[in-house]
Structure 1
Amino acid sequence: MGAGASTMAESAGVSKETTDALMSLPDGVKKELEEKMMKAAPAGTAAVAPPGGKWLAEGKPVLTLEAADAMASAALAECRERKFKDISVFVLDPAGRVLVSKTMLGCPKLIPDIAHSKAGACIGTHSSSRALKDKYVPDRTPQLLAMTTMGFATNQPFAAVPGGVLCRDASKNVVGAIGVSGASADEDEHCAILGAQAVGLVTEPAKSAL
């Protein structure tokens, strides 16, 4: 039995005594056993890079803090480059927890709450805040009101206004959301999309409206 199969046997919980006994078998038998063990090796015994590379936590479809920080910084940089009004940016994980928030100095007090609510709407519904607006405004106002009220009642931020972008990895797993507020709705969404795509994420919406 080769070193690779011996290591797999140990990692599978086989005792040292059993491994030593296997090692003492004739070469032909050891080779046959090794081939069978290699075929039966469970997924994950080899190191596999997580989808999305360095921007996702190993083994989990979750953004790293470094990714969230890079997303927020890229959104702010795009805002400055385009000379939009000052914005606030929130990046949330798949559970809706805030990973990073950044707010430019010229934002009114309410703007960060709106940015948070846009991202929260994405996490809560697995869609973009624009998609929610298109779905519920103006023809389904009662449903939208019910969802918004539920958000208030459960202390979950919710805003059906463009600027909240759902983020997925290459395997389509939801890894978080980014919400932007402070400029126009289309400009907010543009900055959010650019921020998420700066770290290689798949965004909903896929393209800016600008």
Structure 2
Amino acid sequence: MLRNQLTLSLDLALSAMSAALAEARTLGVRVSVSIVDASGQLIHLAHMDGAPAPSRDIAHDKAWTAAGFGLATSAWEERLASMPASVRDGLMQRPRLALFGGGVPVKVEGSVVGAIGVSGASAEQDEQCAQAGVNAILAALNQA
């Protein structure tokens, strides 16, 4: 099913959303969760009661960035440190790029098929919630 489409279905996104929100509840944090397809288009967005209002857009930006680069947004801190200042400054001024933890790509057979972005808690907690969603997708695919 997914391997032919090379993108996420709504059913997989719903499963991932449940897992990401459950992880947030376990951590005791309130977040927004955005799930996008391989091209960064929104599939599903949830905003927990009490999550900061800007976290909606930030979660979407994290998912969009992770899908676009095929790289967890947490990896950018190290990458930016090794870049020339002009490149680093240019990237950091780009609209929509979220270059801090909380966005995780979903990869199947080496191809990016989507991504999950989470915002509202610490970067580490956001990423933990996003990874829980990714894990739910991968587990569902292994059962198919």
Please, what TM-score do these two structures have when normalized by structure 1?
A: 0.61
Q: Does 1:72 align with 2:29?
A: no
Distance across 2 between alignment mates of 1:114 and 1:141: 24
CA gap 1:189/1:99 in 2 versus in 1, 3 angstroms = same
> Once the two structures are superposed, what CA deviation does each residue of 1:114-163 show, in whole Å capped at 9, x if it has no partner?
1111111112222110111221048655323312434x2xxxx2110111
Q: Which amino acid aligns with 1:100?
A: H
Per the alignment, residue 80 of structure 2 pairs with 136
Does 2:102 match 1:163? yes
In the alignment, structure 1 segments of 5+ residues that lack a partner are 1-49, 51-55, 202-210
**Greater C-alpha radius of gyration:** 1
The size of the alignment, in residue pairs, is 139
- 8 Å contact from structure 2 (residues 118, 129) kept in 1: yes
Identify which of structures 1 and 2 has the higher relative contact order when contacts are C-alpha pairs closer than 8 Å and 6+ apart: 2
Identity score, percent? 35
Structure 2: gaps (5+ residues): 140-144
Which range moved further: 140-149 or 85-94?
A: 140-149
- Comparing 128-137 and 185-194, the one that deviates more: 128-137
Q: CA deviation at 1:86?
A: 0.3
Q: TM-score, normalised by structure 2?
A: 0.87
- RMSD between superposed Cα atoms in Å: 1.8
Q: Are 1:172 and 2:102 matched, yes or no?
A: no
Which of the residues 165, 179, 188 maps onto 2:126? 188
Residues 77 and 144 (structure 1 numbering): CA distance in 2 closer, same or farther, change over 3 Å? same
State yes or no: 1:61 paired with 2:6. yes
More strand by share: 2
